[in-house]
Chain A
Amino acid sequence: QQQVKQSPQSLIVQKGGISIINCAYENTAFDYFPWYQQFPGKGPALLIAIRPDVSEKKEGRFTISFNKSAKQFSLHIMDSQPGDSATYFCAASSGNTPLVFGKGTRLSVIA
């Protein structure tokens, strides 16, 4: 049973554009929502994370938007750059459960 659904599977964005990746979860006990970035040949690395007490968190060009009532959260990458080309994973957990990951989105930023 997939508890975190991520879309799209792949995304192509022009340099300078906005990349948007969406995730939906089912378990209302989830209270921690991180995003990970993975480059080929590397392990995932934490990019940004949000707790449900805020609706938005921004770090540089990366923003998480969180909608608790809809049980959805999304990652926005502003001014996307070729160096942002990677696979992005959303995840969710509560204090008692390990991270549950979405299936990933392969982002390609083209010049």
Chain B
Amino acid sequence: KAGVTQTPRYLIKTRGQQVTLSCSPISGHRSVSWYQQTPGQGLQFLFEYFSETQRNKGNFPGRFSGRQFSNSRSEMNVSTLELGDSALYLCASSLQQGPYNEQFFGPGTRLTVL
């Protein structure tokens, strides 16, 4: 069974631009969560989607948004990029929503904001 795939793997943007990252969960998984990973802050939860609905949201500004499609694929968008948005963005999928369900992480998208 294929794992979680994320595209693109690497991205370079400049301040003020916007970016869209994509995540394809493991087949059959209906929950997708997004995390931001930085050396200073570690892994921080962005949001979780299940059945096309946002179920939980982390403490990030409104510039960070996401959505989930009927096939469970998910996208996250960051508008008006700031230098501090440079990070590894990880997507994780699980069979059902909620933290008790094992999350399978993708390899991440490395975003660099110049």
Contacts and interface: CB of A to CB of B under 8 A. Distances in A.
A100 B100 contact: no
Which secondary structure dominates where chain A touches chain B?
A: loop
Chain B, interface size: which category? 20 to 34
Interface residues of A, number: 21
20 contacts: A32-B99, A43-B90, A43-B92, A43-B105, A43-B108, A44-B105, A46-B102, A93-B99, A93-B100, A97-B56, A98-B45, A98-B48, A98-B56, A98-B58, A98-B99, A99-B103, A101-B42, A101-B44, A104-B42, A104-B43
Interface of A: 32, 36, 41-46, 89, 91, 93-95, 97-104
Given A45-B104, A93-B100, A98-B99, 13 more contacts: A32-B100, A36-B105, A42-B105, A43-B105, A43-B106, A43-B108, A45-B105, A95-B99, A98-B33, A98-B45, A98-B56, A99-B45, A99-B99
